[in-house]
Amino acid sequence: MRASNYDKSPCVSVPDGGNACVSGWEAIAGRLREAIANRAARKTVVVVECYPGVHEEEVRRELADRIRPALALRASDALLPPERIESLVAPFLGGDDPVFGFLSGLDLPQFFDEHRLRQSRQEIERVAAGVVLVVGCGAHGILEGDILVYADLARWEAQLRFRRNETSNLGVENRSLRASLQYKRAFFVDWRVGDRWKRRLMAQWDFVLDTNNPREPKLADGAAVRRGLRHAATRPFRVVPFFDPAPWGGQWMKEVCDLDRSEPNYGWCFDCVPEENSLLLGFGATRFELPAIDLVFDQPRALLGEAVHERFGAEFPIRFDLLDTMGGGNLSFQVHPLTEYIRRHFGMSYTQDESYYLLDAGPAASVYLGLREGVDRGAMLRDLAAAQDGRAPFPADQYVNRFPARKHDHFLIPAGTVHCSGADAMVLEISATPYIFTFKMWDWGRLGLDGQPRPIHLQHGAANIQWERDTGWTRGNLVNRIEPLGAGDGWREERTGLHGLEFIETRRHWFTKIVPHDAQGGLNVLNLVEGNEAVVESPDGAFEPFEVHYAETFIVPAAAGGYTVRPSGASVSRELATMKASVRT
């Protein structure tokens, strides 16, 4: 196992940003008092709009104690009663389904009571002089105010708060609810509502409050944050990866990514899922954490390119993550929904086509993919149902192909194809972004990390299995479809997929010298799959050199233009490789 140089806290340094950010409640209040004084107005309304999951009461208390407003209001006091909010969101929660709902089209003002809003506005109007402080999700809907502070929160931290029973879903007190059900509600309702509201306000932010670490809140000038996002969209960058254990998790990432050795396992690494990951902006020596999706919202064309933006809007359509089963177990036997199915049942416009690229593999590594020849679908579904009921284990090898897996193999998995990674594999999963829409059909008789069986969705799975994808079709279409494309001085390029049914194109470059890349006006996502380190450069100096390390995923925005990748450090004497994904246009 190689020594780790994996960077777990990558940061985008913002030019001339040294004085744009302060840390700690005293400094934050001081900066706000200064902004209030600069207005030289008899009355100033400070609105602190909050993303769902922010500890609103803590923010209100800490600021009120220091700013001493004439009036401090909670936005939550103007919300609909909880029972009306429950009725409002119920159509999007999928009834008793523990995982799936329907993507909400609700807007934040729909969560507020008109009578209570009028009362809040009247309270504000009665204040003749001094500071009025309004804090909470929807605060800007009560009154636009004179100074707008946006309190932001990354979704990964929101999920951890659910697990710690620290926070509730939007408009209700439910922190005692199972974290998985809070997550479901946030995914289908809260975050959709919060994102719509956030996008309307981003251009108006006077300040942004980083609330990810309650012990070290940070406040940055809104103009500086927007400048940092524009800067990030012109050069290669990485989002902040996060790691999570899994029932099938392994031991490989502990060493390669230098993780806590005392943890039982790590199964997941999300290292390019902007809806979930954070983006660190460096203002001088201070690192300011934002949800990476803010970059997608603020700079969609520069980041994605015109053609990709035209197709997907302000969504990041490519996902890279790591799945570690080295010393672990098989992933769940599963299938992903077809596009028509995911649109009709869950409100998504595209589905989770994906692939498994083997970063590493043990001697017994394998991938389950596609059905064996002549499978009796009725018998297979009966055996899956029997396994779900606990009557007998599912005989996977009787129905599903099991292909040996070696380092640098690439298995393509268009939606509707049954699959799972076997144990003893280190997978770089390259896929479209709708990442929770996995229909588990068999979980090998094990329990989840909470000691409970993980949810099985056999009915959904059966409705999406493409039964004609048997051994011959799978081997001919989905296993190591490597096609040489070209070569130059010290490099060669191969197409490795994805399948023609999928919208993502993947290219592998092997190189010992400088490799030229042309993004052709679109988004590129890459991972250094072989070699210790490399440097990404602009031929015309449009951005400063960017260093990447083994197993790190990095993003090259469309606006970055052409770029090169070359060996660096200890890698200059060996052959390296990158895997690159782009959207076919």
Q: What is the pLDDT of residue 3?
A: 65
State the Cα–Cα distance between residues 389 and 393, nearest whole angstrom: 10
Coil vs helix vs strand at 344? helix
pLDDT average, residue stretch 391-406: 97
Tell me the average pLDDT of the chain. 96
pLDDT average, residue stretch 265-279: 95
Per-residue pLDDT at 337 exceeds 80: yes
Per-residue pLDDT at 57 exceeds 60: yes
For the chain, percent of residues with pLDDT exceeding 90: 95
Same fold for the domain at 12-232 and the one at 483-583?
A: no
Closest by CA position to 151, among listed 61, 50, 221, 53: 50
Per-residue pLDDT at 577 exceeds 60: yes
Instruction: Specify the fold of 244-277+299-478.
Output: Jelly Rolls (2.60.120)
pLDDT tier for residue 571 given thresholds of 50, 70 and 90: confident
pLDDT tier for residue 553 given thresholds of 50, 70 and 90: very high
* Superfamily, domain 12-232: P-loop containing nucleotide triphosphate hydrolases (3.40.50.300)
pLDDT average, residue stretch 516-545: 96
Q: Where are the beta strands (DSSP E) in 154-212?
A: 207-210
Residue 256 to residues 5, 409, 496: CA-CA distances in angstroms? 8, 20, 25
User: pTM of whole model > 0.85?
Assistant: yes
pLDDT digits (tens, 9 = 90+) for 179-235: 999 999 999 999 999 999 999 999 999 999 999 999 999 999 999 999 999 999 999
Q: What is the pLDDT of residue 413?
A: 97
Token pair for residue 399? 């129905």
Cβ-based neighbour number of residue 244 at 10 Å? 15
Closest by CA position to 354, among listed 317, 328, 327, 324: 317
Token pair for residue 165? 């029973």
For the chain, percent of residues with pLDDT exceeding 70: 99
Q: Give kind and range of the element (H or E) at residue 387.
A: helix 377-388
Q: What is the pLDDT of residue 7?
A: 97
pLDDT digits (tens, 9 = 90+) for 224-242: 999 999 999 999 999 999 9
Token pair for residue 279? 């983006």
State the Cα–Cα distance between residues 21 and 283, nearest whole angstrom: 6
Cα distance between the two ends of the chain: 39
Q: What is the pLDDT of residue 434?
A: 77
pLDDT average, residue stretch 79-88: 98
Per-residue pLDDT at 12 exceeds 60: yes
pLDDT tier for residue 2 given thresholds of 50, 70 and 90: low
pLDDT average, residue stretch 269-297: 96
Domain 483-583 has CATH 3.90.600.10: no
pLDDT digits (tens, 9 = 90+) for 358-367: 999 999 999 9
8 A C-beta contact, residue 522 and residue 582? yes
pLDDT tier for residue 504 given thresholds of 50, 70 and 90: very high
Residues 6+ apart with CB under 8 A from 505: 495, 497, 498, 581, 582, 583, 584
Per-residue pLDDT at 312 exceeds 70: yes
Burial 483-514 (b: 16+ CB within 10 A, else e): eeeeeeeebbbbebbbbeebbbbbbbbbbbeb
Domain ranges of the chain: 12-232, 244-277+299-478, 483-583
